[in-house]
Structure 1
């Protein structure tokens, strides 16, 4: 009996250690961008098939993921997005970016120093060849023009709606409360995405906009497969992509903590988010 109790105690100790090890590993950052190449990322550029990286728009140089237009004669509304290979539901995402250089000829005026991270995006395999934007929630990145106030980490809604102040928000974009970041400085954007419950945009540690119940609806995405765009459907998860909208931009880090293992454990969820934001 003594030997049996000793064996059971050893087993419980081992199980406890294994559980601790799994928990410890689960809240580590997943580096979506490896700093070397575009492994695990797939481009979708308007008027081109999925996987065609037209004019080498997306590239990796000097350890950075770069969006460039030196192979374009004219932008011609060839909006592009590069998608990470798998979808997520509950997560903390960090993106470090900077705008550089001059806008591509033919880019719209509103696209000056304009890009973004698309959250909860549709599967890129379901996008039409001429579709301009994925159905998604856009965390819009804007760079200052040197004089005017211009917030970043704004909210735009291609083919989606959200709830703000207990009301369905149907306009396309709304500005955040962030500061303006002029020039070519690096900006660290963080996003707390909790399924179809709530989303928070942060610049560094500062929350600049929050919204709730992301769902399919509205316009500002065209053309689109009606079998994919089911208006009113809550969006629990989806694909993450980064934009090319005619202005060169660099991405230094794109990383994520998967929060889904603790999505129903409020205290643990809060702990993982707070620890991640402090990194």
Structure 2
């Protein structure tokens, strides 16, 4: 009897230790960010330039140098409205946090649109690059607009533009193409941190250098269909730009506390992802 009790006690201790070890190893509160840009090459990205099929990097528009993902125009004679986007092959995503560090550099390419001076964007909830028409300017998406100062005027960044989409702000359906945030202006070639929090079609928040500057709800296509998720892309709209960090934290996953991969910061459950 004593041996049996000792065995039961040992077994209970081992199970408790295993459970504690599993919980400790998982660390439910520890955020697991994923780098979309590896700092070395564009192997996990697909380029789509207006006038060219997906996958063709005409004029070496997008490149990697010194650990930076760059948009450049030194091999263009004129811009010719060759609007470009580079899509992460990861995804699609619906609920997540996105962290991007960017800066504008140099001079705008010859014949670039006036409105595109120090103008770029993070496109999210986008269609895939393969589904875009060859001559399509911009993907259906939400655009987290990035603007640099012109050296004298106030010019917010972290704005919202809506190519073939619309949103609700403070209970009002807004169909404006672009709407300004409350951010500061960033002149020159300084680095700026842009962060995005998205909960499917329900909520999106823009942060600049840690400050909330824009918030909206009910992300949707022009026809009113909820825009639940999609891919992530960076723009090239005629002004050279650098990106040194592009990383994502998925907020959708297993929310069962008994699972090995449970995370306390998930906001959307994905029961199929649970591992026991």
Larger radius of gyration: 2
Aligned to 2:22: 18
1:264–1:188: structure 2 CA closer, same or farther, 3 Å change rule? farther
- 1:54 aligned onto 2:58: yes
Distance of 2:84 and 2:113 partners within structure 1:
14
With normalisation by structure 2, the TM-score equals 0.88
The answer for the alignment partner of 1:274 in structure 2 is none
Q: Which structure shows the higher helix fraction?
A: 1
Question: In 2 relative to 1, CA 25–49 (structure 1 residues): closer, same or farther, beyond 3 Å?
Answer: farther
Aligned equivalent of 1:269? 265
CA RMSD of aligned residues (A): 2.1
Tell me the equivalent position of 2:271.
Answer: none
Alignment of 1:35-184 (within 5 A): 35-86=39-90, 87-184=92-189
**Cα separation, 2, equivalents of 1:263 and 1:5:** 31
> Matched residue pairs, number?
257
1:194-224 CA deviation, whole Å, 9 max, x = no partner? 111100000121100000111111xxxxxxx
> Is the 8 Å Cα contact of residues 262 and 269 (structure 1) preserved in structure 2?
no
Hey, what's the Cα distance between the residues in 1 that align with 2:13 and 2:127?
49
Query: What are the ranges of 5 or more consecutive residues in structure 2 without an aligned counterpart?
Result: 258-262, 268-276
1:241 aligns with 2:237: no
Alignment match, 1:227: none
Q: Distance in 1 between matches of 2:34 and 2:206?
A: 19
Counterpart of 2:260? none
Deviation at 1:95, TM superposition (A): 0.6
Structure 1 runs not aligned, ≥5 long: 218-230, 272-279
Whole-Å Cα distance in 1 between the matches of residues 217 and 165 of structure 2?
Answer: 12
User: Per the alignment, do residues 15 and 212 of structure 1 end up closer, same or farther by CA in structure 2, a change over 3 Å counting?
Assistant: same
Distance in 2 (alpha carbons) for counterparts of 1:146 and 1:270: 41
